Chain A
Amino acid sequence: MRILLVEDEAALRETLAARLKREGFAVDAAADGEDGLFLGREMPFDVGIIDLGLPKMPGIELIKKLREEGKTFPILILTARSSWQDKVEGLKVGADDFLVKPFHVEELMARINALMRRAAGWSRPILECGPVALDTTAQTVTLGGQIVELTSYEYKVLEYLMLHAGELVSKTDLTEHIYQQDFDRDSNVLEVFIGRLRKKLDPEASLKPIETVRGRGYRFAIPRNS
């Protein structure tokens, strides 16, 4: 999942970015509002973490502009100002959640996961499609109740596909959302992951969880459990 992080305090920004990357996110960071807007336009993001007190363009304005330009990814506001006036204003211009500094990073992670889930239409932390269940908080996958061992990248690919279960996900989408900017993108690697996922999730080739749409991308074919 790709995160847009806009925070002017260098120490905090670097600490957060490092932690988010460790958690498996692809992170693009900016130190001011203008940079943040530029990044927001250039890349597709799954979630944004935006500080309110930014130089060059205040956070509120940045959020407003992103929304005006049709960016619908969920945004979490990070700020030292905890007054209700700021909270309400931030949520009014289009943010989805609000976290007051200082905060526990665990809290931040939980909120971000919740935001991404909700944005994809899942109202609970466990994504279930047929016998396949992916727990976004525990970061585990079970097949009919049995845990399936996945590497972190395999997990990320599966998570992205299941979040968008039923929707077409292009290869570019997958690579952009899974990989850090400075990684080499090699779409063959993606096919390898998909192949391995198929083997692990569907050993008897009966379930066919992941469908290849020739020339366009992939789709997680098992519908969501209601």
Chain B
Amino acid sequence: MGRPDPQTRTAPRPSEVSARRPWSLQARSLVASIIFLAAFLGITFLALDRAFYQSSVAQLEERLKAYALAFFAGSDLNVRGQLILPDAMPDARFIRPGSGLYAGVVGRDFYWESPSSMGRELPFELKLERGAERFVGPIDSNVGGVYVYSYGVSWADRRGEAQNYTFHIAEHEEALDAQRAVFQRTLGTRLLMMGVALLALQLLVLRWSLTPLRKVEQDLARVERGQSDHLPRHYPRELEGLTTSLNDFIESERERRERQRNVLGDLAHSLKTPLAVIRGEIESADSGATSVRQTIEGQVRRMEAIVEHQLTRAVTSGHQPFASAVDVERPAAEIVTSLEKLHAERNILCEFELDPQARFYGETGDLMEVLGNLLENAFKWARHSVWLTTRRVTGPGSRRPGLEIVVEDDGTGINADQIDQVLKRGVRGDERVPGHGIGLSIVQDIVRAHRGTLTVDRSAELGGARFRVRFEPH
């Protein structure tokens, strides 16, 4: 019975169940901006247009009024009491037929119209009291829409009777309309350009505002790659809650592992020393109690093995998404030096090829257990030579590189049919060299906890055993 393979998943993750992803922040902002800008600029356009129009119409009225007064000033009653209008028109357009600018005067039995009005039947019927004025427009007429300014005047004739006349000036709306069209076109274009510029600015501002979020993402990636062990402290207020929580999480995970390691370490330590004492007692006991002694000795040995094994199993933290990258070269070199010291008398030469770029993503202790136990095995079994190779393994699109460790010796090697036995947890390949079994099972536990693989075969060049540990990039 073993643990379920960590690679299989039996239920879909929650994020896979929902049908649609929510809009990106950028898309939200963009759509909202477009709607708002369209509305705002549209209203602005309408307001400005309206203001321009009203201003234009007011100006038109003033102009028509000025024409009317000009005509009035130039007119007079003749000796017979008839109104005579000036020959010279205030504007050349009054002369040209269909020019768009028309004048007319209406009296009791009098009607005059400017040459431009000839035959066009403009709405000049209205009669006004003296001093009264009226301005209307655009009103429909034979020539189209016109604005009409009307002003009532009176002269006293020879008899002293007031003669009422009404001056009318009309202008075709096309002049005003044309002006308005130009204004609208210009305004519309400018507003559109402004709108686009504002949108672009908005996008830039948004990008700038979202930079901290991107930074959080980058910093998290760095932590996951092992280049950093926490998120740096300077983020905008709004993100601080999130990043502080993340840092707390990372930290508390570390502490938990530390605690777990310490508790178990203390447990094992406190167990081991009484065991050592018992062992001491056993070894100094009388030979008369041999069978009891042998039983106790056997049990004690078993307990020692269990404690050793469980301690190392429990202490490895296994795969961690936020583990720092641990240099492999230096620990490997240190272990080789240590083993050469410990096995100095046997003249074993250890050659190594260590990739300076090789990294292990986990605790240094775990790496050293793997290297130490594999190399120690190799040293015990080797005749003269041990080879150690470490190599960085890259994969396409992976955040973390993998690692390969190969340990070979020139000893007797392990037969194919024995390999299975040796790899089975706790079973020793050969009792001749004590301690072989436990070391290997520790390596297996750590390798498996880190989702790696351990393979055993024969070394092609050295002829002895070859142990290969491989952690894939991911």
Number of A-B contacts (CB under 8 A): 81
Cα distance A53–B300 in the bound complex, in angstroms: 22
B161 interface residue per 8 A CB criterion: no
Tell me the B184-238 residues at the A interface (CB within 8 Å).
none
Contact residues in B for A16 (Cβ distance below 8 Å): 280
Cα distance A18–B364 in the bound complex, in angstroms: 39
Contact residues in A for B157 (Cβ distance below 8 Å): none
A102 interface residue per 8 A CB criterion: yes
How would residues 281 to 304 of chain B score, 1 for a CB under 8 Å from any chain A CB and 0 otherwise?
A: 101100000000000000010001
How would residues 239 to 283 of chain B score, 1 for a CB under 8 Å from any chain A CB and 0 otherwise?
A: 000000000000000000000000001001100110111111101
Cα distance A98–B341 in the bound complex, in angstroms: 10
B369 interface residue per 8 A CB criterion: yes
How would residues 63 to 81 of chain A score, 1 for a CB under 8 Å from any chain B CB and 0 otherwise?
A: 0000000000000000011
Given A9-B273, A53-B269, A80-B273, does the pair A97, B342 have CB atoms closer than 8 Å? Answer: yes
A81 touches B373 (CB 8 A): no
The majority secondary structure among interface residues of chain B is: helix
Which one of B276, B312, B372 contacts A12 once the chains associate, using CB atoms below 8 Å?
A: B276
How would residues 82 to 119 of chain A score, 1 for a CB under 8 Å from any chain B CB and 0 otherwise?
A: 11110110011000111001111100000000100010
Given A9-B273, A88-B334, A91-B341, does the pair A15, B280 have CB atoms closer than 8 Å? Answer: yes
Cα distance A91–B277 in the bound complex, in angstroms: 25
In the complex, the chain B residue whose C-beta lies closest to that of A123 is B345
Cα distance A15–B373 in the bound complex, in angstroms: 30
B273 touches A12 (CB 8 A): yes
B344 interface residue per 8 A CB criterion: yes
B123 interface residue per 8 A CB criterion: no
**Shortest distance from the beta carbon of A110 to any chain B beta carbon, whole Å:** 12
B54 interface residue per 8 A CB criterion: no
In the complex, the chain A residue whose C-beta lies closest to that of B342 is A97
**Max chain A Cβ within 10 angstroms of own Cβ: one of B265, B268, B334, B369:** B334
Cα distance A19–B283 in the bound complex, in angstroms: 10
A85 touches B273 (CB 8 A): no
Name 9 extra pairs, CB < 8 A, besides A91-B337, A101-B275, A104-B283. Answer: A12-B273, A12-B276, A15-B284, A81-B265, A83-B369, A84-B335, A84-B369, A88-B338, A105-B283
Q: B residues engaging A (CB < 8 A)?
A: 265, 268-269, 272-273, 275-281, 283-284, 300, 304, 308, 312, 331, 334-335, 337-338, 341-342, 344-345, 364-365, 368-369, 371-373
**21 examples of A-B residue contacts, CB within 8 angstroms:** A9-B277, A15-B280, A19-B284, A80-B268, A80-B269, A80-B272, A81-B265, A83-B312, A84-B368, A88-B334, A91-B337, A91-B342, A101-B273, A101-B275, A101-B276, A102-B272, A102-B275, A102-B300, A103-B276, A104-B279, A118-B344
